[in-house]
Amino acid sequence: MRYLLLFGLYIVLAAYAVTDVLNRGKQEYFGLHRTAWIAIIILAPYLGALIWIGLQMRGRGGTSEPRQKAPDDDPDYLRWLRQQERRKNDD
C-alpha cells in the first residue's frame, strides 16, 4: 500500500510539472529546451519534478522577457521629449 501511495504521489507531481512545462509560452527554460525538461521530469522520479517546481517557485526564469520601462525611465523617450520641447521653443 505504501508503494502505491508513493507511486501515486510521483504521478501527481510529474503530471503537474509536465503540464506546467507545456503550458508555458517559451520553448526554453533555465537554459534547457522544453523536451529536455519533460525528459528530466519523467526519467528522474521525484527529483526532476521537484527541481522544476522549485525553480518556478523561486521565479528564476533564465530566459525571461525584458520588462517594458515606464516612459519616464526610458532614455529614448526622455530624449524625444527634450527634442519636442526644443522644437516647441524654436517656433
Higher pLDDT, 43 or 26: 43
Whole-angstrom CA distances from 81 to 2, 65, 68, 73 are: 68, 26, 18, 12
Report if residue 56 sits inside a domain. yes
Give the percent of the chain with pLDDT over 90. Answer: 20
Whole-angstrom CA distances from 76 to 58, 65, 68, 83 are: 32, 19, 13, 11
Report if residue 33 sits inside a domain. yes
Report if residue 83 sits inside a domain. no
Report if residue 82 sits inside a domain. no
* pLDDT tens digits, one per residue of 44-78: 988 998 888 888 888 755 445 556 667 667 788 88
- Which residues, 6+ apart, have CB-to-CB distance to 19 below 8 Å? none
Report if residue 42 sits inside a domain. yes
Domain range for 43 is 2-64
pTM of the model: 0.57
Q: How many domains is the chain built from?
A: 1
Report if residue 89 sits inside a domain. no
CA 84 from chain centre, in angstroms, equals 38
Report if residue 28 sits inside a domain. yes
| Three-class DSSP category at 28 | strand
Question: pLDDT at residue 79 above 70?
Answer: yes
Report if residue 87 sits inside a domain. no
